[in-house]
A and B are shown apart, each in its own frame.
Chain A
Amino acid sequence: MAQYALVIDLNTCVGCHACATNCKEWNTQAAFGPLSDFDPYGRGPSGVWYNRVFTYETGEFPSTQVFHLPKSCLHCQDAPCVPVCPTGASYKREQDGIVLVNYDDCIGCKLCSWSCPYGCREFDEADKVMKKCTLCIDRIYDETLPPEHRKPACVLTCPARARFFGDIEDPNSEVYKLIQERNGFVLFPDAGTNPANHYLPRQEVRINLEEFEKHILKPDNPLFLEVLRRHRPGMSQKPAEDEYIPEELP
């Protein structure tokens, strides 16, 4: 059974909010729009968004780590938001695993949002129905779009190319491989939701200079020593590591 999903690489996500605003831009005018914004120019503007970007930090200065977390519906494989829906408006599609809301059936009881541990559903007070990420179903199946554009808006726009889309059940897909190779993880693994969207962890590149320290990195550059000799007279020819450091400048 196919399960479409997003895979988001926290190793390149810079938290720019492009996926969030582009999602808003696409979806407000497309099949599942508009996405209302309330009091847009007033004191507490609040709108319906399918995707929001959070920023977290950990550790103490100076070993602080900061990371950004874009979060949209994770299209859980065991989506708890679906069975609680009294009307069947919330459903998970058999063919691709996308979790959708049928606006015509939704009575706006909000129960589905109560049952989502991720806060990925937003109620539209103007339409009085529940809204959420559709995985851009109106793009990915739109045959009038060129094939390379049949991807979620957020994926196409991400300037850090941190977002991938595909079938995580298909071992040949890019997303499947990424999850395997990069140890993809999910949010709230213990919630029993089995989210389809995955995140790829941060990685830190270190440079190993060992070999160089042994062979090449010796502070015996003759030119350096010559300058030392001329400008710090009285110093030995080949100073030990710290010897040449003057206590006080002349």
Chain B
Amino acid sequence: MHPPISLIFFFLTAGTSIGLFILTYFIEFLKLFGKGQGLPKEVVLTSGMISLVLIGIGAIGASFHLGHKLRAWKAVRRFNTSWLSREAVFSGAYGFTLLIYLILKYYEVSPFLEHLFGIITWWLGVLSAYSTAMIYASNRFVLEWNTGITVIYYLLMYLMLGSSAFTIISYYYKLPYTGTFLFLTFLFVLLGLGFRIAFNVRQFYIKRPTLNDALNLPHNRPIRVVDKGSTTDNYCTTEFYYEKGKRVLPTFIPLAYLFTFVIPLFLLLYIYITGTLNAFLLWTIYISILVGSAIERWCFFVEGNHVQNLFYGLYPEEGYKLRKGYMERKETRISLYG
């Protein structure tokens, strides 16, 4: 699949935004039950503002993916069936309720309303992330994506971005949560690494359809493409098969692993072991995750093989099934006496 840069951008901004808010509000939420001492208003407002701005520019960025940005509102119409529609609704609503939440917080109108909107926003954030993930995970025709791993991993990535960002905030405001969030970041990155590996390993075991399946010509011999009907590229070959990307993918996947997981884990361990803690290290962790995620998302798209590529001979090859000949034999009998 051809990676749409605007969607990668959206991932990074929405990921940080939602991840950050989920964690921020979580601490606030715990306070409701008398656990922990919550966060200073200022921190909530700062973190919330960051989330709000990020989701805002994320949404604007994502709209560059659309042919008709001004009609984007129409995307809410198919909430019933379309994950994209749901994403649009949830993320829009998330931004909206987040704004209300922040206003309520700022004016300290009512703790009840504040928490009501906090909880709603929290859920909308999660649902928005889930919907976005489901856009990919529900696509039956990109087998690499079509798995729960995609969703779990997607959510984990949001949390990685959020927790590493929150660590920075925590560090600047000298909150008592820095250690916790260092740990959480470590945990999310480690889990993320696990699921990313699972995502990659799974690709070796996917049972891929063959051109014979696509053409429904059960046949004991493989079918080869001899002519694609066009010697130049068209929408179907550029959108669903990114040739240049496929070529550099082997270099980019290690880079994605390096930045998303290896460097952050290394630095986190470094912090634990040496006890050194400074803004630079925390920023490096966040930025490494950010850069890594960008590359990782790029890889995620390029790794996705759309089954329509079968028709163009651009789908990964696999063994073919042995089935009976598809050719019907028809005998014409010429009768001798009549």
Contact = CB atoms under 8 A, between A and B. Distances in A.
B88 interface: yes
Given A86-B76, A109-B84, A205 B224 contact: no
Nearest to A211: B336
A127 B138 CA distance: 28
Contacts of B215: 56, 69, 187
B222 interface: yes
B316 to A, nearest CB: 15
B75 A107 contact: yes
B156 interface: no
Contacts of A187: 214-216
Interface string B123-137: 000000000000100
A221 interface: no
Among the interface residues A65, A83, A114, A127, which one has the most CB atoms of the partner chain B within 10 A?
A114
Contact of B239 (A66, A88, A113): A113
Interface in B129-159: 135, 138-142
Nearest to B67: A108
B302 to A, nearest CB: 14
Contacts of A18: none
Interface residues of A, number: 72
Contacts, number: 204
Interface in A134-174: none
B328 A119 contact: no
Contact of A123 (B223, B235, B334): B235
A95 interface: no
A13 interface: no
Given A46-B233, A109-B84, A54 B216 contact: no
A149 B219 CA distance: 38
Interface string B204-242: 000001010111110101111111111011111011100
B331 interface: yes
Nearest to A215: B336
A128 B335 contact: no
The binding surface of chain B is classed by DSSP as mixed
A128 B312 CA distance: 24
A47 interface: yes
Nearest to B88: A86
A57 B139 contact: no
A20 B228 CA distance: 13
B328 A204 contact: yes
Given A183-B328, A204-B330, A116 B216 contact: no
A53 interface: yes
B77 A88 contact: yes
A29 interface: no
Contact of A46 (B75, B219, B235): B235
Nearest to B75: A86
A189 B216 contact: yes
A139 to B, nearest CB: 23
Contact of A116 (B77, B84, B308): B308
A113 B332 CA distance: 45
B226 A56 contact: yes
A129 B329 contact: no
A84 B136 CA distance: 11
A203 B326 CA distance: 9
B81 interface: yes
A215 B236 CA distance: 59
A201 B327 contact: yes
Contact of A58 (B75, B76, B82, B222): B222
Among the interface residues A54, A86, A116, which one has the most CB atoms of the partner chain B within 10 A?
A86
A70 B243 CA distance: 24
Contacts of A85: 78, 82
B330 A115 contact: no
B30 interface: no
Interface in A77-121: 80, 82-89, 105-111, 113-119
A46 B311 contact: no
Interface string B15-32: 000000000000000000
5 contacts: A71-B311, A86-B77, A86-B84, A115-B141, A188-B209
Interface of B: 1, 65-69, 71-72, 74-78, 81-85, 88, 135, 138-142, 209, 211, 213-217, 219, 221-230, 232-236, 238-240, 306-309, 311-312, 326-336
Nearest 3 CB-CB pairings of A with B: A108-B67, A128-B67, A119-B308
Given A84-B83, A119-B309, A185-B216, 11 more contacts: A15-B227, A46-B238, A54-B227, A55-B226, A83-B81, A107-B71, A123-B67, A191-B140, A192-B140, A204-B328, A204-B329
